[in-house]
Structure 1
Amino acid sequence: MDYNGFSDEKSESRLYIGNLDLRITEAALIKMFSPYGKIVSEDFLWHTRGPKRGEPRGFAFIQYSTKEEARLAKEKMHGRLACGRPLVVRLASEKYMVESAENSSKGVGEVNKAIGAGSSTGQMSRSARIAAIKNKLKALEEEGSSAKKQKHADN
C-alpha cells in the first residue's frame, strides 16, 4: 500500500532488510535471500559522504518478482541471525510507517506504549501518533514550566 491510498504491486514485493552487520556483502545478502524466490533487483546502500564514505549503511532493499515470494522471505528471514545480529525484514511499504513512528518517539514512553497498544498489527494510525506526541510535548512543557517556577522559588 503506498501513501497515496492505492496498492502498488512493486512495493509489495520489495523488502527492506535492516540491522545488517557491516561484514555482510551484497553477494552474501543475495545468497541468503535467493532461496525464497526470483530476485529482480537489489539495492545495497553505502555511505556516499562523510567519514564513513564507502562503508555499508547497514540496510538494503531486495525486489522479488512476486509479492508472495517477498512475504515468504520476510516470514523466513525476519529475526534470523546473520553475523550474530538479528535481521530486520519488512515489506518496504511497511518500513516508512514503522520508521516514522520510531523516529518521532525516541525517548517518548507514552508514544511507545501507544504503539504497542495501538492496533492488532502493532501500528498506530497517523492521528493517534500525532495525538500521543502532542500529549508528550504538553507534558514536557508543563514539566519545564514547573521546573522554572521551582528554580525561581529557590532563589
Structure 2
Amino acid sequence: MDHNGLVDEKSESRLYIGNLDLRITEAALIKMFSPFGKIVSEDFLWHTHGPKRGEPRGFAFIQYSTKEEAKLAEEKMHGRLANGRPMIVRLASEKLMAESADNPSKAGRDTNKMHLTSNGSGQMNRSAKIAAIKNKLRDLEEENSTAKKQKQKQTDNVS
C-alpha cells in the first residue's frame, strides 16, 4: 500500500526481463514464462529508429494477473540461461529503483532527482513515477532535436 492507501497491483505483478539474447522471440518468451501464471500482457521492446530499427532491444516486460504469479516467475527464472545468457528477472518497480540508486542521472537529472519512497514492497510513489516519465520524455525530445540538427547539417553539406 502506498501513502494514499491505494495498492498498485500492476507494478507489483509486472516483471522486467533483461539480458535477453537477440534471437529470443516474443512467442518463446511467453512460452518460457507462461507456466508460472496467467500472462495479462507482454511488451517486447524493439528498436524503433536508427541502424538497429526492427531489431529486439534485449529486454521485455511481462504482466501477470497476480503479484504471487510474478514473484514465482521471478524466483524461478532469474539467472536461468536462455540461449546461453542468464536472464535478469525482477519486478519492474524494483528494476527502476535499482537503476535510480546505481545511476541517478539515468533515472533523473542531477538538478531534478527523483524522490523515491518505499512502502516495503519496493514500490515508487506517484510523483516519482511522474518525474521518471517527464525525464524520459525530455531525454527523447533532446535525442530527437540532436538527430534533426545532424540531418540538417548533412543536408546543408550536400547542397
> What interval of TM-score do these two structures reach, taking the shorter chain for normalisation?
0.5 to 0.7
1:102 CA displacement: 2.7
Inter-partner Cα distance in structure 1 for 2:15 and 2:70: 7
Read off the aligned partner of 1:32 and give its amino acid letter: M
TM-score (normalizing by structure 1) = 0.63
What are the superposed Cα offsets for residues 99-129 of structure 1, whole Å, 9 maximum, x if unpaired? Answer: 22233499xxxxxxxxxxxxxxxx9xxxxxx
Classify the secondary structure of the residue corresponding to 1:96.
helix
What value does the CA root-mean-square deviation take over the aligned residues? 2.5
Which protein shows a greater Rg? 1
Provide the residue aligned with 1:92 in structure 2: 92
Identity %: 86
Provide the residue aligned with 1:68 in structure 2: 68
Read off the aligned partner of 1:78 and give its amino acid letter: H
The runs of 5 or more residues in structure 1 that have no matched partner are 107-122, 124-155
- 8 Å CA contact 1:2–1:11 kept in 2: the answer is no
Q: Which runs of 4+ in 1 moved over 4 A?
A: 1-6
The runs of 5 or more residues in structure 2 that have no matched partner are 107-121, 123-159
TM-score (normalizing by structure 2) = 0.62
Inter-partner Cα distance in structure 2 for 1:103 and 1:74: 23
Classify the secondary structure of the residue corresponding to 1:97.
helix
What are the superposed Cα offsets for residues 70-91 of structure 1, whole Å, 9 maximum, x if unpaired? Answer: 0000000000000111000000
Aligned residues: 108
